[in-house]
Each structure stands twice: as structure tokens, then as C-alpha cells.
Amino acid sequence: MEIIQAVRFSPDGTALRIIDQRALPGKLVERDLRTLDDVCDAIRTLSVRGAPAIGIAAAIGVAVIAAAAPEALTHLEFRQSLAHAAETVRGTRPTAVNLPWAIDRMLAVLGREHVNRDALVAALRVEASAILEEDRAMCRAIGEHGLPLIPGRARVLTHCNAGALATGGMGTALAPIYLAALEGRDVSVFACETRPLMQGSRLTAWELERSGVPVTLLADSMAASLMQRGSVDLVIVGADRIAANGDAANKVGTYALAIAARHHGIPFYVAAPTSTVDPRTATGAAIEIEQRDASELRAIGGIATAPSGVATYNPAFDVTPASLITAIITDRGVFSAPYHFEATRP
């Protein structure tokens, strides 16, 4: 089974290389990003998306920008320009906690004493590489912790994309599924299309089909009736931010799935790295929800599906209360209520 690499350094190390997810599933397009504008635009436009992948892209982006900074800058100007670039990247998307987490790590490196500019650039590259490698190990660990939750002949429902395209490794929500498949278990997936940007149909279905895992696509509105028929054994989704009490922000539509799963007695799991748990956010009510442009809701693929001037409500995420979550699968273990995430900290 080949696991794709969605975000990484380019082979020559001079750029952030991403799979441009806007082109999927029609074309597999890789882009090399070298400037602050390119990195910010890629994150803002969802060319790269998924909380862990965004964090990695931010870190590698800062490292690449540092290496390409004008030689004429004084050491102070160099540090100031990098700090500004890092904060600019931080501001591209507000909900996923991995983005500010990665930026804070890069700024911590920037704040250290270095003998010269070359040493600082090298240290930033080392830190970005560490974030990427940690993410790959994190994905594997989530898969291993979640694997015992996958029964034989499991039929798993997922929403949006929390696979390899959303991370630096094999994914979060899809990691236990990939490991189950690698073990030869008979596991299959139902993927919600995930309106309005179709991350389920464009990305998850493409990724799973490419890897050989059986996948069935369904419209978001069909999920509850599928549960009612007894065709779903468990639900696994990712998360962009998890509050200290276990409330989880994920792609809009997740909350409805959690309600339906509870009604039908189906386990509902959230899979996310430790870095997605935000101890500074007490509850889900404090999570800032990104509001996306109306054009995403009024059209699909450039074809109008609604009147051009109709009012829209287009939040990118919703918050699932901890009371509806069976357990949260992290790289440091499986946690259930009451959530004591202190155990996930080093």
C-alpha cells in the first residue's frame, strides 16, 4: 500500500512541496512554494488543508522563506522580517490549533541566540523537519492506538478528509483503517461527500480508492439513514481543535453525525494528534469558527447552484460536544470522558 506525501520539502530543499488539493480528483498536481505570498495563499485557498498538514506547511514555509531572504538584510532586519512572515502565516486560518502551534515552535527557534545567519537558517530547517517527522510518527501511533477499536469486517463512516492528504503521514482518522487493511482485515469505508467543498468525495474517496481500501461515497444527508439500516459499525473523524474538556471542532456536518451515531448506538471516535488538544481553550464555545466565502456555497466547480445574491451561512467547522464522543484517539493513547489530557503532555 502506497501512502502519498501531501506536504514536505522539495527534493532540493529550496521549497515547500505540496499536493494541490484543489486539483483532485481530476489531476495529481504538485506545487513548489517559495514565497510568503505563495505559502499563505496555499493555506488560505485550501491547496493544502487538514490541521496537521497546515502546521507542517507553515513550519516548512518559514524555513524556506528564511533561506531565501535577501543577503543585504542586517541580522536584526532578518529576524524581524522572519517574525513578520511567521505571524502572517499564522493569520491565514483561525480554527486549526496546529497552525499557531507550529508557528510558535518556529518562533522559539528564531528567539534563540545563533552565531550567525546561516546557523539560524539551519536551525529553522531542523525544527521544520522535526515537525514533519513527528507528524509521521504521530500518524502511525494514532493508527496503532485506534486499531483495536476496528472490529472484524468493520464498516467505518468518516467525514471530510483526515487521511494522508491532511497530514505528513498516513493520516489521523484513516490511520487505523490503513493499518487494519495492511493487516489483511476486511475493512470498508463510507465517505460522506462533505459539502460544500467536497473533501470527502474529492479527497477521501480518491485517497482510499488509490490505496485499495474499499470505499463507498454518499451524500451527507444519507448518513443517518445508513446508520438506521444497521450498515455502520463505527464513525471515525478528525479534528482541527480539541478543547480541554473534550469538545472537538471538525468539518461542518460532524456534529450532526455525532447526534445520529448516539441515537443509533454507534461508537463515535475523534482521532487527532496531541498538538490538536488546546489546553488554553476550556470548552468548544471558545473555539473561533472560520467563516468561508459565500461563493463556495453558491457554486460547485464554477457552476452556479444557487442565485448569485442569495444570503449564505458557510462556517467551515462545527463543534461536537464531548458528551457525544465515545473516545478520542491520540498518538499517546485513547482517552474517554472525563478527559484528562494532561497525560498527553511530555
Enumerate the active-site residues. Answer: 240
CB of 61 within 8 A of CB of 33?
Answer: yes
Helices 117-146 & 175-182 angle (0-180, nearest 10): 60
Q: Kindly give, in sequence order, each residue whose CB lies less than 8 Å from that of residue 35, ignoring residues fewer than 6 positions away.
A: 65, 68
Assign 58 to helix, strand or coil: helix
**CB-based contacts of 2: which residues, under 8 Å, 6+ apart?**
210, 211
Q: What crossing angle do the helices spanning 117-146 and 51-67 adopt, rounded to 10°? A: 170
Alpha-carbon gap, residue 122 to 109, rounded angstroms: 10
Sign of CA pseudo-dihedral 187, 194, 281, 321: negative
Q: Of 134, 86, 135, 129, nearest to 110 (Cα)?
A: 86
Cβ(28)–Cβ(6) below 8 Å: no
